[in-house]
A and B are shown apart, each in its own frame.
Chain A
Amino acid sequence: MKKTVSIIVMAVLMMVSIVALSRTAQADEGKMVGTISKLEMSADKKTATVVLKDSKSGEDVTIIITDDLTLDKFNDKRIVEGDEIRCKFEKEGGKNSSKMFKKTAGC
């Protein structure tokens, strides 16, 4: 009886692990260098939607930004349309959420 219970518990644990891992795998990561072709702040200024034109492929990639530091840079125009950006993002639920959003320029 004890052995049967152990096997069932192990099987359940394995299934839970597989489901959890597959969920993690769904959050795919991307990175790119691109130029901002469109920048829109939400009304409450807590989110921004940015379209980056990929320097490599020329394709437009839409990125959602929610971190305060970057949003502040949009607010006072330290980052504006036309700036080149190095971006890391997570693809989840059909959206690309920014994980790193930095201007390539420096001195």
Chain B
Amino acid sequence: MIKKIAVLTLLASTAAVIGTFAAEHPGKEYILKNGYQGPKTCEVCHPGKAREFIGTVHWTHASKVDNVDGVKPNEVYGMRNRNYTMCNGNDIVNNLKEIPANDKGKTKFSGCNSCHPGDHASDVGSSGPAAEAAIDCLLCHSVKYDFSKRKPIKLKDGSVIIGQDRSVVAATNLGRPSNKTCMTCHEAAGGGVLIKRGFAMTASADVHAAKKMVCIDCHVVKNHKMPTGFDPNNWAHDGLRVSCAGQCHTEKPHKDAAIDNHTSKIACQTCHIPKTGGATAKDFTKWTKLDNGFYEPSTLKKEVNETTPAYAWYNLTVANRPEFIGPKGSRNDGKSKIYPFKVFQGKAFFNKKNGELLSMDFAQPSANGNTLAGVASATKILGIKDYEPVPGWQTIYFGSNHQVAPKKNTLSCTSCHAPNGVLNFKGLGYSDAEISKLTNPEIYFQRLLEKQEEW
């Protein structure tokens, strides 16, 4: 009881603080009087925050990684420099630029780093006073940000910068970052809206969103560091990890001990996130021409909740081979649980000389569909001279950690324990005798019978 009162008091006081903050930011008067000059203004009351922010993955787009095969311990990895077949490039080879004119004479700006919260002049991983001054604080902290101002602008010298809304209106209307704040950038990853991960943080798609929770309720930010999970294909991290168990849920969260007994071997997501979405496959070797004259990677797209995940043992370490990026683990290693994954397969050019996946600069193929010209440009940027491009496929297992389903849509006993269940017990390492036992109605029949409503 005392614990409940303490929690309720904490929630009420937090709500009061948030409410106060949303209503009136204490610095509003100062900004109205002095105007807004970017981070310099924020630092009047929040000293050190700019330097703090440029040390996070949101700015660096990379970090050291210690749970992935084949990575070097002293190097950093992330969208700054990684290459895999959902994107087939990175911030380096697809640095924001104006792409050549297509056959209709149209050009456009394109680049992996177009969401980077700087101004592009101070770009991914930059540091020092100029970088600190370039941070677009209001992009996340204003509730009246004018996104039409945040667009690429080509300067007279040919360089490209990204505009920012540094208006007094934006600076005097601050608030807690919402789902919209995060999704503005994160929903457009992988080449378009809901392509890469295919989840929507909307009330209809996720029970947390339905309860008015926002991304940072789970990804509880500490000094601008963002806790993340262990998605096998999301390597860069700020050193903080997010987990269902802890602040909100326990290791034994069910009212039914028989279900709780599953949690040592079955991850929460397995039963509670039964669907995934987004692109299932892409071909970077042959791009599709659009009606506007531009080309894009040929892509098989699915909407939110349209695809079924694959299930595998995962001990939070990652296999990283040219043809496969995904979970490592087994039922016998004492560390693994069964997790759901969004399976994606991508075709791209590999280097016949060493088997490695080659990157592609999208400028040329976007304009004229010439994918080998894109590879040639990328290899030049990266200083790769000895290569022979050959097409090949790569399979990637993305973590399926969002879009928690309402209770009525979660997996139930028969979802897995019926002979036609979603778990491939053979593939998960179970013997025929064990499978026979696992798929015998004896283990769930009475329980479901008791729960079955009369009709």
A residues near B (Cβ < 8 Å) are 33, 35, 54-56, 69, 72, 76-78, 80, 84, 86, 102-107
Contact = CB atoms under 8 A, between A and B. Distances in A.
B218 interface: no
Contacts, number: 51
Of the listed residues A54, A105, A107, the one surrounded by the most CB atoms of chain B closer than 10 A to its CB is A107
Contacts of A69: 202
B147 A76 contact: yes
B148 A80 contact: yes
Of the listed residues A55, A78, A86, A102, the one surrounded by the most CB atoms of chain B closer than 10 A to its CB is A78
Contact of A107 (B144, B147, B188): B188
A78 B192 contact: no
B193 A103 contact: yes
Given A33-B291, A55-B292, A84-B292, A107 B148 contact: no
Interface string B131-147: 00000000000001111
Nearest to B146: A77
Q: Chain B, interface size: which category? A: 20 to 34
B357 interface: no
Interface string B278-318: 00000000000011100000000000000000000000000
B114 A107 contact: yes
Contacts of B195: 106
Contacts of A56: 291
A69 B202 CA distance: 9
B160 to A, nearest CB: 14
Contacts of A72: 180
B189 A77 contact: no
28 contacts: A33-B291, A33-B292, A35-B292, A54-B291, A55-B290, A55-B292, A69-B202, A72-B180, A76-B145, A76-B180, A78-B184, A80-B148, A84-B292, A86-B192, A102-B194, A103-B188, A103-B193, A104-B290, A106-B188, A106-B191, A106-B193, A106-B195, A107-B113, A107-B114, A107-B115, A107-B185, A107-B189, A107-B191
Of the listed residues A77, A84, A103, the one surrounded by the most CB atoms of chain B closer than 10 A to its CB is A77
Contact of A106 (B147, B190, B202): B190
B148 A77 contact: yes
A107 B195 CA distance: 10
B291 A55 contact: yes
B112 interface: yes
Nearest to A80: B148
B340 interface: no
Contacts of A86: 192
A107 B112 contact: yes
Contacts of A106: 188-193, 195
Q: Which 5 A-B pairs have the closest CB atoms?
A: A55-B291, A77-B148, A106-B192, A56-B291, A102-B193
A32 to B, nearest CB: 8
A106 B111 CA distance: 9
Contacts of A33: 290-292
Contact of B192 (A54, A77, A80, A104): A104
Nearest to A104: B192
A105 B112 CA distance: 11
Of the listed residues B115, B144, B190, B292, the one surrounded by the most CB atoms of chain A closer than 10 A to its CB is B292
Contacts of B112: 107
Contacts of A80: 147-148
A86 B185 CA distance: 18
Nearest to B113: A107
B42 to A, nearest CB: 20
Nearest to B292: A55
Contacts of B290: 33, 55, 104
A38 B184 CA distance: 22
A76 B291 contact: no
Contacts of A104: 192, 290
Given A69-B202, A102-B192, 16 more contacts: A33-B290, A55-B292, A56-B291, A76-B144, A77-B146, A77-B147, A78-B147, A103-B192, A105-B188, A106-B190, A106-B192, A106-B195, A107-B111, A107-B188, A107-B189, A107-B191
Contacts of B193: 102-103, 106
A72 B187 CA distance: 15
Contacts of B292: 33, 35, 55, 84
Contacts of B115: 107
A37 to B, nearest CB: 14
A105 B202 contact: no
Contacts of A103: 188, 192-193
Nearest to B165: A77
A103 B114 CA distance: 15
Contacts of A54: 291
A52 to B, nearest CB: 12
B148 to A, nearest CB: 4
A54 to B, nearest CB: 8
Contacts of B113: 107
A20 B114 CA distance: 49
Contacts of B188: 103, 105-107
A76 B113 CA distance: 22
Of the listed residues A54, A86, A106, the one surrounded by the most CB atoms of chain B closer than 10 A to its CB is A106
